[in-house]
């Protein structure tokens, strides 16, 4: 039987052409789905669920001793379903010959909140840090600092080879910014620090090749090196080793604006092309700055989308072009477009439109000098608030968050904010006590909307869990008699 | 008197010798001609009934069998070739000599035909190793100087007389010895049964010196020794022959004489393959022996064994002279010229492309790793079944380890050269396989096209550049496997289906073909078990191609043959296969350790074979163009083979594509390996195109080829030429793009770091740059992990081993770090003795092609509080040192009621074998060994101690008092049984193949 060539001449080319076409189509689909790159799971603070290995928290930026600028305490909230033991290793400053790390253990009964001061571990004055190793995870770790004010922030869950802190200030006469570098490892780390101010990019001789001794804390007094900078952004890259970078910012109220308070925070370990801020508020005597730092070498095209409270008008997004290594400051409290739209409370999303990743931070200052004297006289305002707060945005919306909502003494107006970044889904968020699963309240949040819950309504609660039906970002603002503290809730990993 | 003429010269001289025999003064000669059926025996005066059909021309064994079968009776038989001219009184003189000396075999004086005054032979001598000793010199003048000597150890067999009784008692000539050496062999056996041999000096025969055939001569000489000596003398002779062969082998390598190399190896393998018949022969001689073997040995001549070397060198030279003449003759043929030119070009290209490897060294890149310090440990790895991969894997004995161990132990003086040869020889092996596969195509240009097209696909160069021995082995083996499969298919010209079988293709039974195919698959599976799927792809392509060629008849036969071959391959690798099957199927041990993910290589890249540094965009598409004319012009078997070639290619590309997209959801080998069927298929299609062009276009239009068809043909040839450019480009750097350096210097520090005790190294990196085979670190990405026992990777780490739970522990520890669930994995790793974690990001130092370990993993390891980055290492690797590591063998004081604290311990016991340590242990202590298997035993002063497990990852024993200790791995009986079955299987396979060959040679 003689084979026919025609089926062959048709089929064989057809097989190859079909393969090429199918490959092209599938590849397009893959390219589209490959856009989201999985982030390092613990580069931003996250609570690992109970029963999964050991989680380590890195708490730094605090001082020990009774006269420290930011007397530190560590707060441990056990949200797991059983008791936990924390191994705490405290490290002292390398300014003087460093002591050996102090190791101690502490039991955290299920559902409880345990705190201790750093002075209990290291009584020598100076900056300190601690690693808290939780066997079995399921514990939220925060540190609180008391000095010229009060701040409470979650500790870091990771060391890193790079850090970015967008918002600090060395403005005289009252501003002081201290960078605190914590190296918990057995080998020295060597880092480079670079800064961006309104005068351009800056480097310092001390910040180049800075050695962070093994198992110690190194203080970098930025105010002494970068003077008179209204807003300083800091980039840290590591030559060898890994560190944790914290910033301590204080104002003593001697300046023209009467700014007074303390804020601290861990820098961001990685830039991103999208950031979420659950809440800003525009009010009398309140300055809300959004600082965006571009740590790369390329120009970043950044859009700031504003999602205002119900009833306010639509706000056209802010657009900024930021050169590599530079930072941009937007004074939202003075932005005409917000005022014209009648915006008082809003959430924001910072998007790097051209993909060049940035790090934005909120910088909140209560400015008594700006309070209208007539309002004081009329009794609308009893006493101008003071305080300082800052936090970096969130890149990690999640359905479950843990927030320690214990209010400071004399709390007035402390609040919890739940922001729904979804474009089209309404989210229901329930606030529950993790130990008992008792439901405190629930909130319904519209797409790209936010809900505010006054903490004064939740008298007995300390650490709560926000359980949402979709991804949300949770914020917290603690308003004390002489302090402000703004922070984000900590996502609970699945 | 019976005279049996066994023509060797194609029958041209038959009339002459028959005339001479008719003129003999001895009357009553019964003349028979024993010749193959295809030999022209039409000679005047020769009754066709007197022509006895035999299988092998000139073979006295066949001739004798034919005489026996014809029941022709005589008391004496004269055997002769057809190119002799006996004197008229030759037979009567031989008879007289035989009667005078009571000789059962009588030879004659042989002189040259053209120069009758020159002696060729007056009988032969036999030395103690079966060698032939000539009694006359070359060109020795016949002055009657040898006429007085009548006895000899052997007679020249061009014309001789033998007593029929002797023939009967010896059951004729050895049926495995064909022409060359039959004189020595038969005469030696005759001596053994007490027969005398004489030379009749007055019986003159004109006969030119026979053409030398060293290959057969060496084979047959060994057979004579093995088959004639008694046991005692054999025990003396075999080691001596072995040593001489090894010396000759080394000499052949050093003097670059591949033919001699082949002859030496071939002589042994040929005889080993015929062991069953050898045993039969020995039994027969033993029964008939009349002269004590010791006495017979005294009769044989002494000769310095070194003479043998010179003798063969001389013979080689003579043979090469003869072959040189044949070569010159063949060169007169245009088609042969093309073949010769191709091989010359390929040889030059290969030497040019490999020059820096052949004159320098082969970097330890990919699987081209150096030999272990003790090659014997490779054999021990197979014999004990204990693999040191990961934290130790039981009952896994890679057959390749045995093969490599034997090879490098035997060739230890030239081990490094052997290592280079092992990897570099794959490309020539592929070319030879393709040449063999193409032989039945008949047309030299088609054969050249097949070889060139196969070599043109840049996959072999890419595989070499990456040190991918698995891909190279499949590349080398694929033509040999297809050769066996197409013979099973029996499609023309490899068989009778759809046309005429080419005469070069012997008829061989299905079982034999399947056995050989199984052996080839088994050999390639030493490098990668994935070869099984390559075979299936070839079968699939053959089946679909045959379907469209309307020639499905042979497919069931192929399927049966491949199934049998699969069984044979399983038998060859038995313990390994059982180890694979009895665990939850670990596909990684088959497909490799590259996880199933989209590699980013598109279908278009695959079609262009653009998967590595050698690929040149668009150029390899020339292979497609070269294969098209077969579909357009081909008729008959040309069209059928074009169809099969194309569908093999389609199957190969499809397999590679699906794998590269990650759709198999299982780890798969590199693209170079997966593309082998595609390259071979396109090569077959290209060869079919050239054959079609020559036969269906040029031959069909003898006067003038139509211009359109000529243009298409020329385009095909030009495209094929263009497609060779990647290979040409790859040859330029003299090392086929393989890096100049390797990781040896970068990881050499571990060799200097043994003083604190034995430890393990955890290796993590992309599969394509890792210097050893491991397991996937996760389901996504291409990271793999592996562990070695405190040393840099070697050849011993190149076999895929099924993963066990203990190895999985390493993965879990790394996952703990990368998920942020631990900041002290050092303490976890300490429990399994890991001191260093080495992240591999390039397969050599100072190369630009890096595949970085994900930054997240580097960060995760960097934030471990008990790991320290080792500064100052080469950028190809990142090294973390575990600061809390514990040696893998530790003796620590026992404290009543307290847990063992390994950090207090110190290293004890030193290696005394592959999986054995010994020394002295102090009492009141605990001995800890980082090995999970309960097959590890500790003997204290000869008594086995009770073992306890440490978290399922290690073993420990209590030591009550000071004792001499031996800790060793005891191989399970079941594994031992499997290895014995495996060995028995090999013997069965060898005997079966030998049996089939023997029967085929005998024409049964």
pLDDT digits (tens, 9 = 90+) for A32-46: 444 444 456 677 899
Nearest to B465 by CA among B686, B257, B727: B727
Q: According to the model, what pLDDT value does residue A32 have?
A: 47
Residues of B in contact with A19 (CB under 8 A): 603, 653-654, 657
Band the pLDDT of B336: cuts 50, 70, 90: low
Q: According to the model, what pLDDT value does residue A27 have?
A: 66
Region B893-917: what's the mean pLDDT? 77
Q: According to the model, what pLDDT value does residue B765 have?
A: 92
Task: Extract the tokens encoding B675.
Answer: 């593309």
Nearest CB to B549 within list A3, A15, A30: A3
CB spacing of B639 vs A187 below 8 angstroms: no
CA distances from A385 to A362, A368, A388, B864 (A): 18, 6, 10, 43
Task: Extract the tokens encoding A27.
Answer: 């590849």
Alpha-carbon torsion angle B165, B171, B176, B177, nearest 10: -10
CA distances from A209 to A188, A223, A404, B25 (A): 12, 19, 38, 113
Q: According to the model, what pLDDT value does residue A322 have?
A: 95
Nearest to B671 by CA among B588, B613, B585: B613
Q: From CA B727, how far away is CA B349, in angstroms rounded?
A: 9
Nearest to A45 by CA among A120, A112, A139: A139
List alpha helices for B853-933, DSSP H. 855-862
CB spacing of B819 vs A41 below 8 angstroms: yes
CA distances from B416 to A222, B262, B908 (A): 61, 20, 34
Residues of B in contact with A185 (CB under 8 A): 865, 868
Residues of B in contact with A160 (CB under 8 A): 859, 863
**Residues of A at the B interface (Cβ-Cβ below 8 Å)?**
1-3, 5, 7-9, 11-12, 15-16, 19-20, 22-24, 26-27, 30, 40-43, 46, 48, 52-56, 131, 133, 137, 157-161, 184-187, 240-242
CB spacing of A55 vs B646 below 8 angstroms: no
Least confident of A24-33, B89-98, B287-296, B893-902: A24-33
Region B393-405: what's the mean pLDDT? 87
Q: Are B106 and B155 in contact (CB under 8 A)?
A: yes
CB spacing of A159 vs B863 below 8 angstroms: yes
Mutate to test the interface with A, among B552, B819, B823 (most CBs of A within 10 A): B823
CB spacing of A2 vs B860 below 8 angstroms: no
Model pLDDT for residues B404-419, shown as the tens digit of each residue: 999 898 888 888 888 9
**Could you give the 3-state DSSP secondary structure of residue B159?**
strand
- Find where tokens 């029929």 sit: B164
- Cβ neighbors of B943 (< 8 A, separation 6 or more) are none
Residues of B in contact with A137 (CB under 8 A): 821
Model pLDDT for residues B316-332, shown as the tens digit of each residue: 555 555 555 554 555 55
List alpha helices for B634-706, DSSP H. 636-660, 671-674, 676-692
CB spacing of B868 vs A186 below 8 angstroms: yes
B324 CA: distance to closest CA in chain A (Å) = 44
**Residues of B at the A interface (Cβ-Cβ below 8 Å)?**
548-551, 598, 602-604, 607, 631-632, 634-636, 639-640, 642-643, 646-647, 650, 653-654, 657, 661, 816, 819-824, 856, 859-860, 862-863, 865-866, 868-869, 871, 883
CB spacing of B868 vs A160 below 8 angstroms: no
Task: Extract the tokens encoding A129.
Answer: 């840090």
Q: Are A252 and A260 in contact (CB under 8 A)?
A: yes
**Parallel/antiparallel/unpaired status of strands A139-147 and A150-154:** antiparallel
Asked whether the predicted pLDDT for residue B688 surpasses 90, the reply is yes
Cα–chain-centroid distance for residue A84?
26
Q: Taking each helix axis from N to C terminus, what angle separates B214-228 and B305-331, rounded to the nearest 10 degrees?
A: 140
Mutate to test the interface with A, among B492, B626, B865, B867 (most CBs of A within 10 A): B865
CB spacing of A242 vs B820 below 8 angstroms: no
- Contacts A–B by Cβ distance under 8 A: 111
A21 CA: distance to closest CA in chain B (Å) = 9
Residues of A in contact with B862 (CB under 8 A): 159, 161, 241-242
**Residue B878's closest chain A neighbor by CA?**
A240
Q: From CA B256, how far away is CA B246, in angstroms rounded?
A: 15
pTM of structure: 0.74
Q: From CA A208, how far away is CA A198, in angstroms rounded?
A: 21
The secondary structure of residue B265, as a DSSP letter, is H
B654 CA: distance to closest CA in chain A (Å) = 8
- Find where tokens 């020539």 sit: B428
Region B663-685: what's the mean pLDDT? 89
Nearest to B863 by CA among A53, A155, A242: A242
Nearest CB to A1 within list B550, B650, B859: B550
Number of other CB atoms surrounding residue A221 within 10 Å: 13
Q: What is the 3-state secondary structure (H, E, C) of chain A?
A: CCCCHHHHHHHHHHHHHHHHHHHHHHHHHHHHHCCCCCCCCCCCCCECCCCCCEEEEEEEEEEECCCCCEEEEEEEEECCCCCEEEEEEEEEECCCCCCCCEEEEEEECCCCEEEEEHHHCCCCCEEEEEEEEEECCCEEEEEEEEECCEEEEECECCCECEEEEEEECCCCCCEEEEEEEEECCCCCEEEEEEEEECCEEEECCCCCCEEECCCEEEEEEHHHCCCCCCCEEEEEEEEECCEEEEEEEEEECCCCCCCEEEEEEECECCCECEEEEEEEECECCEEEEEEEECCCCCCEEEEEEEEECCCCCCCCCEEEEECCCCEEEEEHHHCHHHHHCCCCEEEEEEEECCCCCEEEEEEEEECHHHCCHHHHHHCCCCCCCCEEEEEECECCCEEEEEEECCCCCCCCCCEEEEECCCCCCCEEEEEEECCCCEEEEEEEECCCCEEEEEHHHCCCCCEEEEEEEEEEEEEEEEECCCCEEEEECEEECC
Q: H or E element: which one contains B915?
A: none
Nearest to B689 by CA among B706, B713, B711, B705: B713
Residues of A in contact with B599 (CB under 8 A): none
Residues of B in contact with A12 (CB under 8 A): 631, 646-647, 650
Nearest CB to B823 within list A5, A133, A187: A133
CB spacing of B548 vs A11 below 8 angstroms: yes
- Cβ neighbors of B563 (< 8 A, separation 6 or more) are none
Residues paired with A454 in a beta bridge: A415
Q: According to the model, what pLDDT value does residue A37 have?
A: 42
Task: Extract the tokens encoding A66.
Answer: 């009774």
- Cβ neighbors of A163 (< 8 A, separation 6 or more) are A234, A235, A236, A243, A244, A245, A267, A268, A269
Residues of B in contact with A23 (CB under 8 A): 602-604, 657, 661
**Residue A27's closest chain B neighbor by CA?**
B602
CB spacing of A54 vs B823 below 8 angstroms: yes
CA distances from A441 to A418, A469, B228, B357 (A): 13, 14, 102, 75
Region B802-827: what's the mean pLDDT? 88
B584 CA: distance to closest CA in chain A (Å) = 26
**Residue B651's closest chain A neighbor by CA?**
A15
Q: Are B185 and B220 in contact (CB under 8 A)?
A: yes
Region B861-877: what's the mean pLDDT? 86
Nearest to B516 by CA among B483, B538, B494, B475: B483
**Residue B604's closest chain A neighbor by CA?**
A20
Band the pLDDT of B873: cuts 50, 70, 90: confident
CB spacing of A2 vs B642 below 8 angstroms: no
Number of other CB atoms surrounding residue A35 within 10 Å: 7
Q: From CA A242, how far away is CA A186, in angstroms rounded?
A: 11
Q: Are A392 and A282 in contact (CB under 8 A)?
A: no
Asked whether the predicted pLDDT for residue B701 surpasses 70, the reply is yes
Which residues of chain A carry a pLDDT beneath 50? 32-38
Q: From CA B242, how far away is CA B265, in angstroms rounded?
A: 11
Q: According to the model, what pLDDT value does residue A399 have?
A: 95
Q: According to the model, what pLDDT value does residue B235 have?
A: 86
Task: Extract the tokens encoding A257.
Answer: 């604006």
Number of other CB atoms surrounding residue B502 within 10 Å: 15
B209 CA: distance to closest CA in chain A (Å) = 52
Q: According to the model, what pLDDT value does residue A372 have?
A: 65
A59 CA: distance to closest CA in chain B (Å) = 14
Asked whether the predicted pLDDT for residue B606 surpasses 60, the reply is yes
Task: Extract the tokens encoding B739.
Answer: 């890096």
Model pLDDT for residues B471-515, shown as the tens digit of each residue: 999 999 999 999 999 999 999 899 888 888 888 888 888 999 999
Residues paired with B792 in a beta bridge: none
3-state helix, strand, coil in chain B (%, to 5): 50, 15, 35
- Give percent above pLDDT 90 in chain B: 33
Q: According to the model, what pLDDT value does residue B530 have?
A: 92
List alpha helices for B845-953, DSSP H. 855-862
Q: H or E element: which one contains B843?
A: none
Mean pLDDT, chain B, whole residue set: 86
The secondary structure of residue B141, as a DSSP letter, is B
B563 or B278, which is more confident: B563
Nearest CB to A52 within list B631, B821, B863: B821
Q: According to the model, what pLDDT value does residue B917 have?
A: 92
Nearest CB to A3 within list B639, B661, B822: B639
Region B54-67: what's the mean pLDDT? 88
CA distances from B5 to A184, B2, B59, B83, B158 (A): 97, 10, 10, 10, 10
CB spacing of A241 vs B822 below 8 angstroms: no
Q: Are B594 and B800 in contact (CB under 8 A)?
A: no
CB spacing of B607 vs A158 below 8 angstroms: no
Nearest CB to A40 within list B604, B635, B856: B856
Asked whether the predicted pLDDT for residue B667 surpasses 80, the reply is no
A400 or B311, which is more confident: A400
């Amino acid at each position: 039987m003689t084979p026919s060539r025609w089926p062959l001449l048709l089929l064989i080319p057809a097989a190859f052409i079909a393969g090429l076409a199918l490959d092209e189509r599938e590849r397009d689909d893959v390219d589209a789905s490959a856009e989201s790159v999985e982030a390092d799971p613990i580069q931003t603070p996250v609570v690992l669920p109970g029963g999964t290995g050991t989680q380590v928290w890195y708490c730094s930026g605090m001082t020990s001793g009774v006269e420290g600028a930011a007397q530190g305490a560590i707060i441990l909230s056990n949200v797991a379903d059983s008791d936990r033991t924390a191994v705490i290793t405290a490290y002292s400053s390398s300014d003087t010959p460093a002591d050996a790390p102090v190791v101690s253990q502490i039991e955290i009964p299920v559902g409880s909140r345990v705190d201790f001061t750093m002075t209990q571990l290291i009584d020598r004055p100076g900056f300190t840090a601690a690693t808290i190793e939780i066997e079995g995870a399921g514990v939220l770790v925060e540190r609180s600092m008391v000095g010229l004010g009060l701040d409470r922030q979650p500790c870091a869950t990771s060391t890193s080879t790079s850090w970015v802190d967008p918002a600090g200030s060395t403005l005289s006469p009252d501003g002081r910014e201290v960078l605190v570098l914590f190296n918990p490892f057995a080998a020295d780390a060597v880092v480079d620090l670079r800064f961006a101010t309104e005068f351009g990019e800056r480097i310092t001789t001390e910040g180049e090749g800075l050695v962070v001794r093994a198992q110690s804390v190194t203080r970098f007094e930025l105010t002494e090196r970068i003077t008179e900078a209204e807003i300083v952004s800091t980039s840290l890259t590591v030559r060898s080793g890994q560190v944790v970078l914290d910033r301590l910012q204080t104002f003593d109220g001697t300046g023209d604006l009467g700014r007074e308070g303390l804020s601290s925070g861990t820098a961001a370990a990685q830039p991103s092309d999208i950031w979420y801020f659950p809440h800003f508020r525009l009010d009398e005597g309140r300055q809300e700055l959004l600082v965006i730092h571009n740590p790369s070498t390329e120009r970043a095209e950044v859009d700031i989308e504003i999602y205002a409270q119900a009833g306010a008008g639509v706000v056209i997004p802010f657009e900024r072009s930021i050169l590599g290594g530079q930072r941009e400051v937007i004074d939202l409290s003075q932005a005409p477009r917000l005022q014209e739209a009648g915006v008082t409370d809003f959430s924001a999303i910072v998007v790097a439109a051209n993909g060049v990743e940035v790090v934005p931070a909120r910088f909140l200052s209560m400015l008594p000098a700006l309070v209208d004297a007539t309002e004081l006289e009329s009794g609308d305002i009893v006493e101008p608030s003071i305080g300082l707060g800052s936090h970096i945005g969130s890149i990690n919306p999640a359905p479950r968050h843990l927030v320690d909502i214990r209010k400071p003494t004399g709390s007035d107006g402390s609040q919890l904010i739940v922001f729904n970044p979804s474009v089209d889904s309404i989210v229901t968020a329930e606030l529950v006590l993790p130990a008992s699963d008792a439901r405190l309240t629930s909130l319904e949040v519209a797409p790209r909307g936010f809900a505010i819950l006054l903490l004064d309504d939740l008298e007995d609660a300390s650490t709560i869990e926000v359980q949402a039906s979709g991804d949300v970002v949770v914020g917290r603002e603690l308003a004390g008699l002489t302090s402000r503290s703004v922070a984000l809730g900590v996502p609970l990993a699945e | 008197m019976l005279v049996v003429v066994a023509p060797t010269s194609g029958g041209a001289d038959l009339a002459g010798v028959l005339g001479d025999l008719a003129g003999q003064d001895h009357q009553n000669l019964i003349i028979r001609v024993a010749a193959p059926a295809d030999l022209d025996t039409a000679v005047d005066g020769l009754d066709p009934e007197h022509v006895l059909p035999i299988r092998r021309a000139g073979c006295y064994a066949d001739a004798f069998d034919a005489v026996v079968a014809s029941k022709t009776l005589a008391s004496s038989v004269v055997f002769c070739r057809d190119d002799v001219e006996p004197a008229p009184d030759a037979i009567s003189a031989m008879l007289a000599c035989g009667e005078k000396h009571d000789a059962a075999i009588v030879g004659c004086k042989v002189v040259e035909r053209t120069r009758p005054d020159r002696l060729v032979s007056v009988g032969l001598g036999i030395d103690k190793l079966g060698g032939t000793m000539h009694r006359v010199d070359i060109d020795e003048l016949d002055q009657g100087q040898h006429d007085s000597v009548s006895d000899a150890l052997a007679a020249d067999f061009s014309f001789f007389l033998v007593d029929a009784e002797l023939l009967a008692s010896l059951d004729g000539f050895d049926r495995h010895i064909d022409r060359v050496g039959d004189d020595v062999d038969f005469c030696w056996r005759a001596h053994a049964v007490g027969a005398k041999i004489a030379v009749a000096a007055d019986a003159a025969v004109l006969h030119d010196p026979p053409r030398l055939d060293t290959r057969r001569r060496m084979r047959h000489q060994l057979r004579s020794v093995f088959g004639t000596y008694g046991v005692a003398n054999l025990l003396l002779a075999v080691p001596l022959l072995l040593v001489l062969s090894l010396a000759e082998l080394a000499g052949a390598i050093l003097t670059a004489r591949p033919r001699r190399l082949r002859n030496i190896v071939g002589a042994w393998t040929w005889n080993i393959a015929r062991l069953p018949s050898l045993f039969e022969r020995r039994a027969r001689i033993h029964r008939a022996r009349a002269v004590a073997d010791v006495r017979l040995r005294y009769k044989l001549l002494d000769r310095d064994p070194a003479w043998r070397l010179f003798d063969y060198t001389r013979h080689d030279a003579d043979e090469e002279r003869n072959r040189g003449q044949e070569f010159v003759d063949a060169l007169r043929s245009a088609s042969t010229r093309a073949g010769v030119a191709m091989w010359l070009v390929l040889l030059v290209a290969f030497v040019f492309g490999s020059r820096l490897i052949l004159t320098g060294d082969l970097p330890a890149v990919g699987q081209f790793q150096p030999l272990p310090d003790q090659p014997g440990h490779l054999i021990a790895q197979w014999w004990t079944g204990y693999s040191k991969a990961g934290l130790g894997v039981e009952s896994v004995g890679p057959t390749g380890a045995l093969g490599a161990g034997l090879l490098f132990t035997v060739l230890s003086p030239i081990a490094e050269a052997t290592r280079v040869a092992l990897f570099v020889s794959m490309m020539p092996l592929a070319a030879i396989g393709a040449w063999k596969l193409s032989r039945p195509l008949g047309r030299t240009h088609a054969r050249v096209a097949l070889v060139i097209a196969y070599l043109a696909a840049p996959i072999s160069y890419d595989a070499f550049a990456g040190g991918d021995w698995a891909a190279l082995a499949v590349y080398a083996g694929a033509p040999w496997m297809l050769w066996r499969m197409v013979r099973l298919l029996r499609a023309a010209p490899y068989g009778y289906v759809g046309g005429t079988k080419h005469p070069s293709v012997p008829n061989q039974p299905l079982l034999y073909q399947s056995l050989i195919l199984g052996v080839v698959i088994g050999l390639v599976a030493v490098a990668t078990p994935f070869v099984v799927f390559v075979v299936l792809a070839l079968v699939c392509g053959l089946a679909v191609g045959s379907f469209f060629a309307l020639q499905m008849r042979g497919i069931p036969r192929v399927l049966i043959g491949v199934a049998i071959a699969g069984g044979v391959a399983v038998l060859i690798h038995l313990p390994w296969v059982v180890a694979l099957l009895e665990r939850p199927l670990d596909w990684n041990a088959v497909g490799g350790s590259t996880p199933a993910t989209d590699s980013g290589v598109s279908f278009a890249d695959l079609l262009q074979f653009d998967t590595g540094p050698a690929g040149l965009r668009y150029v390899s598409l020339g292979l497609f163009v070269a294969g098209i004319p077969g579909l357009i012009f081909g008729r008959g078997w040309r069209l059928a083979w074009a169809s099969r070639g194309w569908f093999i290619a389609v199957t190969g590309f499809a397999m590679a594509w699906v794998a590269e997209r990650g759709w198999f959801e299982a780890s798969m080998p590199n693209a170079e390996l997966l593309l082998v069927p595609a390259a071979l298929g396109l090569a077959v299609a290209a060869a079919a195109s050239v054959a079609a062009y020559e036969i269906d276009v040029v031959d069909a239009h003898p006067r003038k080829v139509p211009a359109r068809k000529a243009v298409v043909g020329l385009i095909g040839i030009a495209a094929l030429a263009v497609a060779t450019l990647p290979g040409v480009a790859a040859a330029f750097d003299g090392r086929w793009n393989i890096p100049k350096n390797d990781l040896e210097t970068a990881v050499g520090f571990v060799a200097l770091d043994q003083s604190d005790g034995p430890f393990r190294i955890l290796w993590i990196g992309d599969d394509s740059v890792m210097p050893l085979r491991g397991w996937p670190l996760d389901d996504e990405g291409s990271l793999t992990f592996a562990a070695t026992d405190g040393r840099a990777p070697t050849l011993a780490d190149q076999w895929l081993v099924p993963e066990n739970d203990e190895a999985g522990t390493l993965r879990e520890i790394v996952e703990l770090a990368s998920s942020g669930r631990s900041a002290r994995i050092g303490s976890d790793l300490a429990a399994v003795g890991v001191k260093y974690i080495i992240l591999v990001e390039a397969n050599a130092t100072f190369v630009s092609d890096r595949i970085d370990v994900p930054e997240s993993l580097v960060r995760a390891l960097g934030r471990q509080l008990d790991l320290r980055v080792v500064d100052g290492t080469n950028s190809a690797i990142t090294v973390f040192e575990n600061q809390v590591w514990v040696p893998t063998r530790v003796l620590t004081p026992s404290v009543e009621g307290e847990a063992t604290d390994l950090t207090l311990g110190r290293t004890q016991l030193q290696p005394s074998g592959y999986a054995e340590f010994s020394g002295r242990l102090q009492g009141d202590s605990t001995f800890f060994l980082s090995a999970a298997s309960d097959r590890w035993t500790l003997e204290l002063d000869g008594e086995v101690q009770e073992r306890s497990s440490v978290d399922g990852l290690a073993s420990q024993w209590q030591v009550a008092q000071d004792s001499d200790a031996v800790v060793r791995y005891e191989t399970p009986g079941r594994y031992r049984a499997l290895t014995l079955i495996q060995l028995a299987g090999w013997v069965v396979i060898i005997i079966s193949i030998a049996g089939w060959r023997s029967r085929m040679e005998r024409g049964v």
